[in-house]
Amino acid sequence: MPRKFTPKVVTANHLLEGDVIYLTAKGTWSRRLEDAALYTEEAEANERLNFAATQADILVGAYLADAQAGPDGPEPTHFRETFRTRGPSNYAHGKQVEL
């Protein structure tokens, strides 16, 4: 039986800055996961990922990451994605201080 589809956001790294970005509902890119569009339908998620693949001048390595709906927008469900919203744990660098 195919695995049940879990909600996803489209994420990547910014081409010039290298930092983590998310695809919004407007088709723009945000540095905050809360601004991302959350896709509950697999077909739509794949379609948005294909769209991201056409944005090579903006980003590197787009993929679908698991997320869940929260009060302020999508939230990570896996620790790797949590770290990507924050930055490293050994220094106050990255999003945890820049956003």
Partner 1 sequence: MYTYSEFDKDFLAERNAQFRDQVERRIDGSLTEEEFRPLRLMNGLYLQLHAYMLRVAIPYGTLNSAQMEQLALLADKWDKGYGHFTTRQNIQYNWPKLRDVPDMLDALGEVGMHAIQTSGNTIRNVTADHFAGAAADEIADPRPVAELLRQWSTDHPEFQFMPRKFKIAITGSPNDRAVTAAHDIGLRIVEKDGQIGYQVLVGGGLGRTPMIGKVLNEFVTIDDLLPYLEATVAVWNVIGRRDNKYKARIKILVHEFGLENLQDEVAKEFELRKPLYDTDAVLGQLAAIAPDFASPAFQTASTAIYQTAYDTDPIFRAWADTNLAEHRADGYAIVTISLKKHGETPGDASADQMRLMAQLAREFGHDELRISHEQNVILPHVHKSHLKEIHERLRGAGLATANVGLLSDIIACPGMDYCALATARSIPVAQEIATRFDELKLEHEVGELKIKISGCINACGHHHVGHIGILGLDRAGVENYQITLGGDGTEDAVIGTRTGPGFSYDQIVPAIETLIRTYLDLREGAEETFLAAYKRVGVDPFKAALYPEAKSRAA
Say how far apart CA 44 and CA 26 lie, in whole Å: 14
Minimum gap (Å) between residue 68 Cβ and partner 1: 12
Query: Can you give the binding site for partner 1, defined by CB under 8 A?
Result: 13, 15-20, 56-57, 60-61, 77-80, 83-84, 87-91, 93-95
Given a contact cutoff of 8 angstroms between Cβ atoms, the answer to whether 17 and 65 are in contact is: no
Minimum gap (Å) between residue 84 Cβ and partner 1: 6
Going by C-alpha positions, the residue among 62, 65, 8, 11 that lies closest to residue 38 is 8
Say how far apart CA 29 and CA 10 lie, in whole Å: 10
Q: Which is nearer to partner 1, 43 or 90 (CB)?
A: 90
Minimum gap (Å) between residue 79 Cβ and partner 1: 6
| SS3 label, residue 92 | coil
Q: Which is nearer to partner 1, 25 or 60 (CB)?
A: 60
